């Protein structure tokens, strides 16, 4: 729980009262490797903070699994589209390792928004950061070659490469596993 609060303090200064509140609203959950946290077509009602572990978000296209993000320690994860709209998710979230998560429900978060402007601010700032990161990834995905994207991943997030099978990394980079293998042999 300390770890979660430290992370939140990086978004915005928060009062002791609010910290206390968050303490009561997040609940620890522990799941084993390969557990399915969110399933396609179900509504995702929780937001999770990763204390320890690794997850991936993926969906199915032409019968193939496409991994489009990974989550590790100190990340907030959920199926954002489903969590925000409360419509059925189009993606799955699966644990890559046994993980310790902290969970808050959509309803609890909504009531926090209504009673505590400080929380609204934290989330607004969190979105700003996530938005900027997504924007950067978008530009990379569309306008750089596969080899450049791989090298960028190598620079920015080497931990992903160590904890995730090659096939999932390839689909994350938007290329086939064979192409990724060839890029690596060239370096």
Partner DNA sequence: GAAACTTTTTGACAAACATCAAAACTCAAC
Partner DNA sequence: GTTGAGTTTTGATGTTTGTCAAAAAGTTTC
Among 145, 152, 154, 162, binds DNA (CB under 7 A): 145
In terms of phi and psi (left: phi > 0; alpha: psi -120 to 50; beta: otherwise), the region of 32 is: beta
Is 124 a residue that touches a copy of itself (CB under 8 A)? yes
Is 142 a residue that touches DNA (CB under 7 A)? no
Min CB(176)–DNA separation in Å: 4
Is 128 a residue that touches a copy of itself (CB under 8 A)? yes
DSSP 55-86: EEEEEEETTEEEEEEEE-TT-EES-HHHHHH-
Among 21, 125, 146, 160, binds DNA (CB under 7 A): 146
Binding mask 2-41 for a copy of itself (x = CB under 8 A): ----------------------------------------
How far apart CA 139 and CA 93 sit, in angstroms, is: 24
| Binder of residue 45, out of DNA, a copy of itself, none (CB less than 5 to 8 A by kind) | none
Tokens at residue 177, please?
A: 């596993």
Among positions 147-176, residues that touch DNA (CB under 7 A) are 147, 165-167, 174-176
Is 66 a residue that touches DNA (CB under 7 A)? no
Tokens at residue 131, please?
A: 């938005």
Helices (H), the chain: 2-9, 16-25, 80-85, 106-115, 117-143, 146-156, 158-163, 166-173, 177-186
Where do contacts with DNA occur on this chain (CB under 7 A)? Answer: 145-147, 165-167, 174-182, 184-185
């Amino acid at each position: 729980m300390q770890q979660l609060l430290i992370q939140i303090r990086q978004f915005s200064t928060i009062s002791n009262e609010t910290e206390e509140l968050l303490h009561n609203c997040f609940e620890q959950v522990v799941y084993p490797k390969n557990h399915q946290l969110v399933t396609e077509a179900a509504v995702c009602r929780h937001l999770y903070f990763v204390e320890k572990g690794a997850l991936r978000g993926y969906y199915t296209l032409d019968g193939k699994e496409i991994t489009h993000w990974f989550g590790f320690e100190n990340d907030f994860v959920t199926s954002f589209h489903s969590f925000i709209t409360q419509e059925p998710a189009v993606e799955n979230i699966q644990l890559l390792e046994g993980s310790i998560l902290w969970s808050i429900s959509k309803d609890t978060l909504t009531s926090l928004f209504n009673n505590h402007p400080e929380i609204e601010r934290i989330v607004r700032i969190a979105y700003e950061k996530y938005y900027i990161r997504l924007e950067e990834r978008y530009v990379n995905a569309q306008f750089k070659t596969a080899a450049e994207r791989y090298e960028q991943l190598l620079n920015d997030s080497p931990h992903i490469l160590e904890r995730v099978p090659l096939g999932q990394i390839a689909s994350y980079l938007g290329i086939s596993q064979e192409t990724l293998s060839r890029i690596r042999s060239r370096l």
